[in-house]
Chains A and B, each alone.
Chain A
């Protein structure tokens, strides 16, 4: 059994070990490039270790963790995102004045935290994972400490995250008081005979939802999102949007299924209202923004709303659609932030919408990649985003949730407006602020573009021929 435990935990162990190893490499005063390649290698190693762990079918490590197909799937997604962010980080941080090396240590730690969330089946491991993730993020967000935006964002995140963790802990305590257990499965069993939730449990759950909702940035816990997206270094923003949210969503999903939350009307009502207001408010707030990072922040609020809508029916199809949409969302968001990273300069990030004017005529390839990503976020056919939305709609209509489906449709029409605004900026006349290419690091520029191009091809592939991804998702979904 011990050997199996090691295999099952190998991705986590590798990630933890990587951060130490990178720290040692930094002590040896190696160059940024070496550190970058080393961490790239370690990420690939961690990713490939998933294939070994895959042989084990649902392997619990009592009492805290469980490695099953679903958690492997989520871990794969998280490590993959970490990998992409890692590749894209080089050209962003190389030209900044701060030493970029410690960044990679924090990147590994945060990825580890998110992975722990994906495998946890117990409140303790949930909290541990969440804190590893969050503490790492404090550092990452405020990494470029010479810029006041970064510091501001870091402090904001610190205060709000600590605050929400307190809510989360108190909620857990209340649930523990009610059920006498902190393990998801046992909590589920103690609720088994009940038809409605006891008040204490409901209060605990509500407090927990505040904490989780903050991490997912759903309305009404979304206030921090835009500022932190804007303030954080762009690769970190991409990381928050994908890894942090993916991990938290995974643990929410597991908890919900284990306690069979779909039975309880009150709980569903809370979830539905959060999802509906997230979709509408997220899209509405994005309409008037002039900063691309803020637009993407608000759009991510809406997208988390879509993901919650996908979760609501609780059927097999809905779980599939959650996983499908998560994959699509991660790939698309990474592509979008990748373009932002490539276009950023030493002084400022390419986040002013005006600086995108005429991009298509200067860098047609980058503009096309960005357009595909935005169209996919908007859910236009031929891109993966459309199939994702289609699956969500289908899952909702199958279970008769016409209202949520309808709101999804309306809000994605609203959303279309601001995605189109960026796209038409890129295609409109010449002029605009000149965005210079990163000619200083041709190799990394080339690698980054190739990575983004590959992601774009995946977006189009999943949009035109989604069967492959659907089978994949069905195979790895939560049983």
Chain B
């Protein structure tokens, strides 16, 4: 039931903020803050509870489930469930949600009620995406997070906001509709095979689809996720959307929205179409590596601070693609770590860009310089973040990228070597960023304020979590281990027999059975002990 409350809380809070915004300008902020914090505390206590169990027992894959019929004629149900991966990303969602509310505390001065309504509804959509175990519901939430984001960029963004908002919306909507086609495709194929028409994820896992059809369906899903992630050549919406969005918008885009793409691949593409995923794996890894290098080079040549950070995201997301399609535990653990640490470090960079813009009224790197003397606190935290982003040991991103490279090395040596070069590039652009903004001769003679108390809290929480993840990542790894293990097993079997499936198109009875067996193990067995 907690799962439903979480979504209900966010949506209800949003409506309340909208209504209160008519009368009072500060009330919506407080409502939003309370709503998100309540959700965060709820989730955190649940996570701590769970991790106590995890240390002693072999953990269950599925921790909680909620199901209620929605459109029964189509076999659509309101079906939510979480495993370690979902839980982790949910905690991240609410954590960044609090920061998003805080960092727009002073920035947003107009239409505050509607702003917080949009903010909370985006968070609701994202949480829904991380919990939905019904493909129709998943698509539903996938779209729900889109419209408020469109408004957030289109109303509160900077100069070129309308163009950016359009581009964002049309890219994601187009790719999303292709996914809807693929969802319907798998629905009817499963239905005609078994006579059971359902959108239930766990039942669709067991469906067997002819390899050539599976390939196209997988592409349908992949397009949506790859655009969201984004991977070169589908990335062109991202720099615009990031740079035009208000600070909280960039934070949520970089920290959460991109993660839904990676989550989608992990949750849907790999388990539903293991064979087809294996088929495209080398290409996907190649695209990932291209993304790493291309993003890094473009990041280096930007003069707009937010665009620079946006392109670093493209580069970091390349690592995720590389890791996912390496199909082994190390790499997948790295991917999850990367999801979390990238959200925190890039989110922090965007918040910092927002703070700089508040003070200097520009995002142009050429107009900045020598800010250290006036803002030593911000300078110091910026250096730490830049170090995190270039993968310095001791900080979270290092663990993530190291694990991914280690895992990917087993799968494809040459691509991994190329990807490792990306680390060097990331050092170059990160250091350039610091140099341009904080070092050198001061170009700005007006006095500038350093951090206020609110901003110190914001930054400190982000910096502490990135250091914590760098020094002691075990809780994260433990939480997602069961999910990752299941995924890996699926591919071990596929690997042994997969070539038979793909080459002969004739389905061998033995390997098929094995695959099915593992697939059905992904289904919750005795989750009900935890339910409610």
A contacts, CB < 8 Å to B:
361, 375, 380-382, 386, 390, 393-394, 397-398, 405-406, 409-410, 412-413, 416-417, 420, 424, 427-428, 465-467, 470-471, 474
Contact = CB atoms under 8 A, between A and B. Distances in A.
A361 B70 CA distance: 36
Contacts of A375: 147
A283 B170 CA distance: 14
Interface of B: 70-74, 111, 136, 139-140, 143-144, 146-147, 150-151, 154-155, 162, 165-166, 169-170, 173-174, 177-178, 180-181, 184-185, 187-188
A270 B434 CA distance: 64
A416 B170 contact: yes
Which of A410, A413, A416, A428 has its CB near the most chain B CB atoms (within 10 A)?
A413
A393 B70 CA distance: 19
Given A381-B139, A382-B144, A420-B169, 18 more contacts: A380-B143, A381-B144, A386-B143, A390-B180, A393-B180, A393-B184, A406-B181, A409-B174, A409-B177, A410-B174, A413-B170, A413-B174, A417-B170, A420-B150, A420-B165, A428-B155, A467-B70, A471-B73
A427 B174 contact: no
Given A427-B151, A427-B154, A413 B177 contact: yes
Nearest to B69: A467
Contacts of B174: 409-410, 413
A467 B143 contact: no
Nearest to A364: B114
A470 B162 contact: no
Contact of B188 (A382, A397, A406, A470): A397
8 contacts: A375-B147, A380-B147, A380-B173, A406-B181, A409-B177, A413-B173, A416-B173, A417-B166
A424 B162 contact: yes
Central interface residue in B162, B174, B177, by most chain A CB within 10 Å: B177
Contacts of B165: 420, 424
Contact of A409 (B72, B169, B178, B185): B178
Contacts of B184: 393-394, 397, 405
Contacts of A361: 111
A406 B166 CA distance: 22
A470 B70 CA distance: 12
A409 B181 contact: yes
B412 to A, nearest CB: 34
A416 B181 contact: no
Contact of A466 (B71, B151, B170): B71
Nearest to A320: B73
Closest 4 CB pairs of A and B: A381-B143, A413-B174, A409-B177, A397-B184
Majority-rule SS of A interface residues: helix
Contacts of B136: 390
B393 to A, nearest CB: 44
Contacts of A465: 70
Contacts of A386: 143
Contacts of A382: 140, 143-144, 147
A471 B72 CA distance: 11
B144 A467 contact: no
A467 B162 contact: no
Contacts of A405: 181, 184
A462 to B, nearest CB: 11
Contacts of A416: 169-170, 173
Nearest to A470: B73
B275 to A, nearest CB: 21
A420 B74 contact: no
A465 B76 CA distance: 11
Contacts of B143: 380-382, 386
Contacts of B155: 427-428
Contact of B181 (A393, A427, A428, A466): A393
A369 to B, nearest CB: 15
A424 B178 CA distance: 25
A467 B177 contact: no
B73 A420 contact: no
A419 to B, nearest CB: 10
A471 B73 CA distance: 9
Contacts of A424: 154, 162, 165-166
Contact of B71 (A406, A413, A470): A470
Contacts of A397: 181, 184-185, 188
A394 B180 CA distance: 10
A94 B178 CA distance: 48
Nearest to A390: B180
Contacts of A390: 136, 180
A424 to B, nearest CB: 5
Contacts of A413: 170, 173-174, 177
Contacts of B71: 466-467, 470
Nearest to A398: B188
A434 to B, nearest CB: 19
A9 B173 CA distance: 47
Contacts of B70: 465, 467
Contacts of B188: 394, 397-398
A420 B166 contact: yes
A409 B147 CA distance: 18
Contacts of B111: 361
A339 to B, nearest CB: 19
Contacts of A466: 71
Contacts of A470: 71, 73
A101 B491 CA distance: 75
A158 B170 CA distance: 40
Contacts of A412: 177
Nearest to B143: A381
A410 B223 CA distance: 14
B158 to A, nearest CB: 13
A380 B170 CA distance: 12
Nearest to B113: A364
B336 to A, nearest CB: 28
A363 to B, nearest CB: 14
Nearest to B147: A380
B177 A428 contact: no
A408 to B, nearest CB: 9
Nearest to B192: A398
A410 B166 CA distance: 16
Nearest to B189: A397
A390 B166 CA distance: 23
A153 B178 CA distance: 40
Contacts of B147: 375, 380, 382
A410 to B, nearest CB: 8
A469 to B, nearest CB: 10
Contacts of B74: 394
Nearest to B154: A424
Contacts of B173: 380, 413, 416
Nearest to B140: A381
Nearest to A428: B162
A474 B72 CA distance: 14
A449 to B, nearest CB: 17
A381 to B, nearest CB: 4
